[in-house]
Amino acid sequence: MSDGHPGTGAGPSFGSRLDAAFGASGHLCVGIDPHPYLLEQWGLTADAAGVRSFGLAVVEAVAAAPRAGIVKPQVAFFEAYGSAGFAALEDVLAAARASGLLVIGDAKRGDIGSTNDGYGAAWLTAGSPLEVDALTVTAFTGVGALAPLFDLAERNGKGLFVLSATSNPESRELQTARTPSGESVSRLVAEGVAARNTDRTRLGDFGLVLGATKRLDEYGFTAEAVRGLSTTPVLAPGFGFQGAEFSAIPHVFGPLAPDVIVSVSRSILGHGPQGLAAAIENDARLVGEVIA
């Protein structure tokens, strides 16, 4: 398997496409998070029609921005409206793909066996109504249990981002727990994911979700989780509304800082539809100053 193409020849790998997006549009990822309060602020109804209009407006603004090329729809806000909400999400995903944006589905799926086959068919298969370029997943059942998702993603030129170290305070006890070998659970997950990228010379298809808030840095396990890793992209939520500052990226993520997807949601979306373009451009500029 080459660095640029998955094993089946399905086209460029996710890692190579992400690397190209970094070069062309920078590292900013705009979250599509239609919180009920944001729908109200935008003058939209709290229903499937509202989240559809919200999502399409964000896609349009990001597609028009010269220094932003990645979006991350938060599936939960669409799922809240049932089948109509999923239909709205399908429209938003289709619009983002048609606009040439890289789409990360923030669905946090993950299970075992045939259940993972089902998740993969839904999110990582070309032509599926829910097709995305990469999917967030959990590894509580073990990184090895995600093998069906890893394999399908690799065949289809897709990616996965596995939760490794999150910044919510409830995560500390579990994620800092030590294995018999002395590693934290977060580090164990990170190593398992990184092992899937060992044949890549630049960016692999499989990355880590590492929260970016100050709480995480205070816990001190982000540096441990990424120590010595390479070719492993990072999806980093927590900037803006949750308190993380762009200037902290090199300190928090160390050697993986050049490969961080800087995810910003509410602090951009809170500017409303009229201020969206300017907010995207401003944050993209600030991120670009930190990640040269």
Catalytic residues: 108
Write out the DSSP string of 123-163: HSSTT-TT--SEEEE--TT-GGGGHHHHHHHHHHT-EEEEE
Give the C-alpha separation, 161 to 149, whole Å.
11
Amino acid found at 113? G
How long is the chain? Answer: 292
CA–CA dist 120, 188 (Å, integer): 23
Beta strands 260-264; 134-137: pairing state: unpaired
3-state secondary structure of 71: strand
**Helical pair 272-290 and 48-64, crossing angle rounded to 10 deg:** 50
The answer to whether 200 and 15 are in contact (CB under 8 A) is yes
Report whether 263 contacts 240 (CB < 8 A): no
Radius of gyration of the chain (CA): 18
- Type of residue numbered 54: F
**Alpha helices, DSSP H only, in the chain?**
14-25, 36-41, 48-64, 75-79, 82-98, 113-123, 147-156, 172-175, 185-194, 214-219, 221-226, 249-253, 266-269, 272-290
Q: How far apart are CA 232 and CA 229, in angstroms?
A: 7
